[in-house]
Amino acid sequence: MSIAADTHSILKEYGFSASKRFGQNFLKDRSVLEDIVRASGTSKEDIVVEIGPGLGTLTEYLAAAAGQVYAIEVDKKLIPILNETLSDLDNVEVINEDILKTDLGKITGGRPFRVVANLPYYITTPVIMSLLEADLPCRSITVMVQKEVGERMTARPRSKEYGALTLAVEYHADTRIVRKVPAGCFVPMPNVDSVVVHMDIYEEKPVKAGNEELLFGIIRGAFNQRRKTLVNALAGYAALDISKDRILEALEKTGEKPTVRGEELSLQKYTELTDALSD
């Protein structure tokens, strides 16, 4: 039986309907499943945390490649299905929790792990940022996201997609788009196409600010009103409380013009600006 037919069969057998509340779209394309596992770099030495296992289709592929898989599913109605479809796999543990409230350090015993996820679009950014910012030994994140989000994550300066998410991801990881995934690869079919994104988390960041809290405050301020010049955007961002004169002085130290906009600065320039404002 094909994966697509198997997906429909499981949904029919359990009388399960995909939840709009949880943004559920189940992957049914074998080549995409194989590409996700391959891109994740998973081996038998690895612990994998899978977020949103759904019906367990990707989980089976991960279990064949990994030493241990922790499949974290928020929808309690899917737990009986997962327990049955994955019953023959002794290296998979299904956990019914909300990933944003889950203690991954406790689950993995503080050991290094990889994350693989087919995320609902509405929680993509919060989940990715919580993983990147957590003090955990996460080695990589391989995730299915809406095409638009993937383009924002990997954008370059001076493009319309470039923004705060781009810089946050770039600060923590070496990131690339692995492949495009058409909407027809899912049941039910979503309204937009997706992409698989892989992030190798830096052990040592190649670009690092002395004050990370200030760095990301500056980045948020810069893109809060992205059409303004950087000076005006930052001076008008109340959360920073930095005068226009100080910003102009710091920009001069970095070699940037006073008319520069936030979307023109690279991550390196943002760290230089942060350090200049910290003096």
The pLDDT score that the predictor gives to residue 260 is 97
The pLDDT score that the predictor gives to residue 6 is 63
Same domain, 100 and 168: yes
| Residue 4 clears pLDDT 60, i.e. is over it | no
Torsion of CA 243, 249, 250, 254, to 10 degrees: 150
Rounded CA-CA distance 224/216 in Å is: 12
Same domain, 217 and 192: no
Residue 164 corresponds to which tokens in the numbers above? 């705060």
Same domain, 112 and 78: yes
On whether residue 136 sits in a domain, the answer given is yes
Per-residue buried b or exposed e for 122-134, using 16+ beta carbons within 10 Å of the residue's own CB: ebbbebbbbbbee
Pairing of strands 173-181, 194-201: antiparallel
The pLDDT score that the predictor gives to residue 94 is 97
Same domain, 139 and 238: no
Percent of the chain with pLDDT over 90: 79
Band of the pLDDT at 173, cuts 50, 70, 90? very high
Query: How does the average pLDDT of the chain come out, rounded?
Result: 91
Residue 146 corresponds to which tokens in the numbers above? 């809406």
State mean pLDDT over 59-83.
94
On whether residue 206 sits in a domain, the answer given is no
Percent of the chain with pLDDT over 70: 91
On whether residue 251 sits in a domain, the answer given is yes
Cis? peptide before 258, omega within 30° of 0: no
Give the domain CATH number at 233: 1.10.8.100
Same domain, 150 and 218: no
Band of the pLDDT at 26, cuts 50, 70, 90? confident
Rounded CA-CA distance 159/127 in Å is: 24
**How big is the CA angle at 130 (ends 128 and 132), to the nearest 5 degrees?**
70
Q: What is the DSSP letter of 127?
A: H
pTM: 0.90
Of the three residues 156, 179, 201, the one that is the final residue of a domain is 201
Same domain, 52 and 180: yes
On whether residue 58 sits in a domain, the answer given is yes
| Residue 33 clears pLDDT 90, i.e. is over it | yes
The pLDDT score that the predictor gives to residue 24 is 61
Give the domain CATH number at 102: 3.40.50.150
Same domain, 220 and 268: yes
Sign of CA pseudo-dihedral 205, 211, 215, 216: positive
Same domain, 15 and 68: yes
Closest CA to 187 of 86, 122, 118: 118
Tell me the residue ranges of DSSP E strands in the chain.
26-27, 47-51, 68-72, 92-95, 113-118, 138-146, 173-181, 186-187, 194-201
Sign of CA pseudo-dihedral 15, 18, 24, 30: positive
Mind listing the pLDDT tens digit for each residue in 109-156? Answer: 999 999 999 887 788 999 999 999 998 999 999 999 999 999 999 999
Same domain, 140 and 17: yes
| Residue 17 clears pLDDT 60, i.e. is over it | no
The backbone torsions φ and ψ at residue 122, rounded to the nearest 5 degrees and listed phi first, read -75, -15
| Residue 41 clears pLDDT 80, i.e. is over it | yes
Closest CA to 197 of 227, 157, 153: 153
On whether residue 207 sits in a domain, the answer given is no
Residue 193 sits in which domain range?
A: 3-201
Least confident of 33-47, 115-129, 171-185, 244-258: 115-129
Sign of CA pseudo-dihedral 103, 38, 57, 143: positive
Contact 276, 179 (CB under 8 A): no
The pLDDT score that the predictor gives to residue 1 is 38
Domain count, the chain: 2
Same domain, 63 and 22: yes
Band of the pLDDT at 2, cuts 50, 70, 90? very low
Residue 231 corresponds to which tokens in the numbers above? 């000076």
Contact 250, 259 (CB under 8 A): no
On whether residue 105 sits in a domain, the answer given is yes
Same domain, 194 and 92: yes
Of the three residues 167, 201, 235, the one that is the final residue of a domain is 201
The pLDDT score that the predictor gives to residue 190 is 85
On whether residue 69 sits in a domain, the answer given is yes
Same domain, 184 and 235: no
Of the three residues 175, 201, 227, the one that is the final residue of a domain is 201
The pLDDT score that the predictor gives to residue 274 is 97
